[in-house]
Amino acid sequence: MNVTFRQLKVFEAVARHLSYTLAARELHLSQPAVSMQIKQLEENTGIALFEQLGKQTYLTEAGREMYHYSRAIAKQLEEASEVLEHLKGVHRGRLDISVASTANYFSTRLLAVFARRYPGTSFSLDVTNRETLLLQLQENEKDMVIMGKPPEGMELMAEDFMENPLVVVAPPDHPLAGKKGIPLDTLQNETFVVREPGSGTFIAMERFFAEHSVSLSTGMQMTSNEAIKQAVEAGLGLGIVSIHTLELELEARRLVVLDVQAFPILRHWYVVHRKGKRLSPVAQAFRRFVLDEAKNLLLQTRQSSWAQLTGC
């Protein structure tokens, strides 16, 4: 059987999409070119791999067998490429990561330092919400993600690398600003601007107040930390956000952190990927970089923010 890698690549795309049009779009080929590759593959194998019923494309029994082997061959070629890159060292390569929207405040800083250390590498960064991060992990779409605590029940490798304290923020002229040891139940008299249900911050906040038998009044829900901070600045309520999102607002004194008893809510940042995933050399280097150095690189920002929190 005389089959080329190009034919297998085209076949795998058509079999995965069950569409010549979508395969052609993915491979940046014309549809006639895709059809020609499939026709040559079927001639070389001596058996039909697809059948057309109406407008729908289906795999034949032989096609299903070929799809199984084509995926295995593609995976082996990918692993061989990664091994060869590893032997050459981290001199080039592409890192495809996603980060929670809150983590974007420091992840770009980490990527900038990493890029200077490995100038031959390139990056694709997606900043998104928790729901999308979990879907990307489930579908194995990214090399890794940076997020809050991952859920249990997914086949994931999650390693924490830095604390993520959640604090209560208010405008500087708020009656509670500057007070020490504010009782937690005092917050029941305030209106809060919060993140959307399902976000990591909302889940942590909801769990925390339930454990302390405190009921909050939520006036508005926002889909980003920027929106929450702007709403708090405008006097629409108090907010609960990560300390890592507040550097500019605290320096400009547009917001203050309230000294509330039992706060901050201590969470952690995690670098996460699918369990058993074979990371490329550049992905391995970035994971090690985050675990070993992220905390110290961001320490100065944290110290400044914590000084605001403690009043020191």
pLDDT tens digits in sequence order for the chain, 312 residues long: 788 889 999 999 999 999 999 999 999 999 999 999 999 999 999 999 999 898 899 999 999 999 999 988 888 887 777 666 665 556 667 889 999 988 888 888 899 899 888 887 888 899 988 889 999 998 888 999 999 888 888 889 999 999 889 999 999 999 999 999 999 989 988 999 988 887 888 888 889 999 999 888 887 888 888 899 999 999 999 999 988 888 888 888 999 999 999 999 988 999 999 988 888 888 888 999 999 988 887 765 455 444 544 454
The superfamily CATH assigns to domain 163-267 is Periplasmic binding protein-like II (3.40.190.10)
For residue 303, the model assigns a pLDDT of 55
Name the residue ranges covered by the structural domains of the chain.
5-88, 93-162+268-304, 163-267
Two tokens, residue 83: 């091994």
Q: Are 50 and 17 in contact (CB under 8 A)?
A: no
The whole-model pTM stands at 0.62
Torsion over CA: 288, 292, 293, 299 (sign): positive
For residue 117, the model assigns a pLDDT of 87
* Number of alpha helices (DSSP H) and beta strands (DSSP E) in the chain: 11, 11
Q: Are 136 and 99 in contact (CB under 8 A)?
A: no
For residue 305, the model assigns a pLDDT of 47
> What is the residue whose two structure tokens read 């070993």?
292
Give the number of other CB atoms < 10 A from CB of residue 39: 11
CA-closest candidate to residue 284, choices 98, 91, 143: 143
Q: What is the CA radius of gyration of the chain?
A: 25
For residue 82, the model assigns a pLDDT of 66
Q: Are 105 and 244 in contact (CB under 8 A)?
A: yes
Q: Which CATH class is domain 93-162+268-304?
A: alpha beta
> What is the residue whose two structure tokens read 């890698």?
5
Q: Do 5-88 and 163-267 have matching folds?
A: no
For residue 312, the model assigns a pLDDT of 43
Pick the CATH number of 5-88 from 3.20.20.140, 3.20.20.450, 1.10.10.10, 1.25.60.10: 1.10.10.10
Torsion over CA: 129, 131, 137, 141 (sign): negative
Bond preceding residue 172 cis, omega within 30 of 0: no
For residue 87, the model assigns a pLDDT of 54
